[in-house]
Amino acid sequence: MGIKSEETKNETNHALAKISRRKLLLGGAATAAVALVKSSFGEIQTAIPESLYIPADPTKVQGPPPFDLGTRSPFERPLKKTSDTSSRTPLQDLYGTITPADLHYERHHGGVPTIDPEKYELLIHGMVEKPMIFTLADLKRFPAFSRICFLECSGNFRTGKEEMMPQEIAGLTSQSEWTGVMLSTLFREVGIKSKASWFLAEGSDAAVMTRSIPLQKGLQDGMIVYAQNGEAIRPQQGYPARLFLPGWEGNTSVKWIRRIEVSDQPYMTREETSKYTEGIKGGKIRQFSFDMDARSIITYPAYPVILQQGWVEIRGIAWTGRGKIVKVEVSTDAGKTWNSAKLQGPVMDKAHTYFRYLWNWRGDETEILSRAIDETGYIQPTMKQLMEARGRDMGGYHLNPITAWRIKRDGTVLFRPEGKA
């Protein structure tokens, strides 16, 4: 790994530790040679500076003093898997349910705008008694509300080969504690007219992202959020403010929101006509399919883990846009029998729920699977069931099939790809 591990003699020099720290902080910008390490998606990352000083006995070396901003260990380099339009949360590298803000998935239609919070404005107009413009300070002055919720892109499914990690299959879902103002509060300020039934949400990105949202959803639990996991929302998630619609497909939670126009009908924008619709049986197209259906994925063991024989805690996340997860079932015999996994409490509404199931793997080849059941009674379907229900031209949105991992005798764990790549 290119790491120096030295004897402990003459190692109490604090200055030396400080130098190491500085090199470490500079990271990729340092002129020192850096080692390539095998990250979860290939030998690509500049990771541990070769000059990083790792004492054999850390008790013999005074460490650096407290940090203004904490850092990751140089041995930990979680990264999103990134394309031109999206980056995917490394689910297989995570524990618990909170997604660190810098690992939250991204899906943009015109890149990430840079917005001066002092100049930010949200206009609410249309079928309202009193059109109003809210600054960021205005939004923060209203009563605040916080909740822990997942956010998932409706295109969150990839398949096609055995060597796929949870991140690649389902990494377009993440979870944060979101804080902001309830949309109902803002709607009360502007006075919604009685005949209004929809609103348009418009972002200030280069795509001028627009979606039509039923007014009822906005009044029920819609928010304008300005904070994520305790701090200001990140630019990649909509800084300085975004719409947030718990449990609904991600793109309806319009980022960098600048305008809400209240209306009595939907606007039929590009992202709800030519995109973000899906085929159903009989050659028809389903539109305004907002709710994210119940889903789960085993994140451990999963590709590229090499499993050891003996007791294994199967772990994963389950979630549903329709309320709470009430049960996750795990099969370790390729779907013949199913057993209830433990759910980590508190189980929250429209939130990633951590599940665990203890299994003694005796070295036989098998498949492990999980399926989520939500409070509406909905059971996560197989890909076969999905295709039967939706028809052959179901497209790439709202695909939530059971994910199966094949365990080979040598401990190799491989994805069982199904459906169109």
Cβ(91)–Cβ(166) below 8 Å: yes
Q: Using the rule CB under 8 A, which residue among 131, 191, 230, 396 binds a second copy?
A: 230
Count of residues of this chain found to bind a second copy when the rule CB under 8 A is applied: 99
Q: Using the rule CB under 8 A, which residue among 69, 265, 268, 336 binds a second copy?
A: 69
121-140 residues near a second copy, rule: CB under 8 A? none
- Whichever of 142 and 338 has its CB closer to a second copy, that residue is 142
Q: Note whether 54 binds a second copy by CB under 8 A.
A: yes
Residue with tokens 């939130």: 351
**Which helix (H) or strand (E) element contains residue 46?**
strand 42-49
Secondary structure percentages of the chain, helix, strand, coil, to 5: 15, 35, 50
Q: Note whether 311 binds a second copy by CB under 8 A.
A: yes
Q: Checking DSSP bridges between strand 284-286 and strand 278-280, what pairing results, if any?
A: antiparallel
Cβ(45)–Cβ(77) below 8 Å: yes
- Whichever of 32 and 389 has its CB closer to a second copy, that residue is 32
Alpha carbon dihedral 360, 41, 72, 76, in 10-degree steps, equals: 50
Q: Note whether 410 binds a second copy by CB under 8 A.
A: no
- Angle of CA points 232, 189, 137, to nearest 5°: 30
Verify cis geometry, omega within 30 degrees of 0, for the bond prior to 131: no
Question: Least Å distance between CB 88 and a second copy?
Answer: 9
Provide the 10 A C-beta neighbour count for residue 336.
Answer: 9
Q: Note whether 87 binds a second copy by CB under 8 A.
A: yes
Q: Note whether 29 binds a second copy by CB under 8 A.
A: yes
Q: Note whether 15 binds a second copy by CB under 8 A.
A: no
Q: Which long-range contacts (CB under 8 A, 24 or more apart) does 132-135 make?
A: 132/189, 132/190, 134/186
Q: Note whether 20 binds a second copy by CB under 8 A.
A: yes
Q: Note whether 75 binds a second copy by CB under 8 A.
A: yes
- Whichever of 198 and 354 has its CB closer to a second copy, that residue is 354
**Residue 415 is which amino acid?**
F
Q: Note whether 194 binds a second copy by CB under 8 A.
A: no
Question: Least Å distance between CB 253 and a second copy?
Answer: 16
Q: Note whether 61 binds a second copy by CB under 8 A.
A: yes
Task: Spell out, one character per residue from 263 to 302, where the chain touches a second copy: x when CB under 8 A holds, - when not.
Answer: ----------------------------------------
Q: Using the rule CB under 8 A, which residue among 8, 13, 117, 364 binds a second copy?
A: 117
Q: Note whether 74 binds a second copy by CB under 8 A.
A: yes
Q: Which residues pair with 82 in a beta bridge?
A: 87
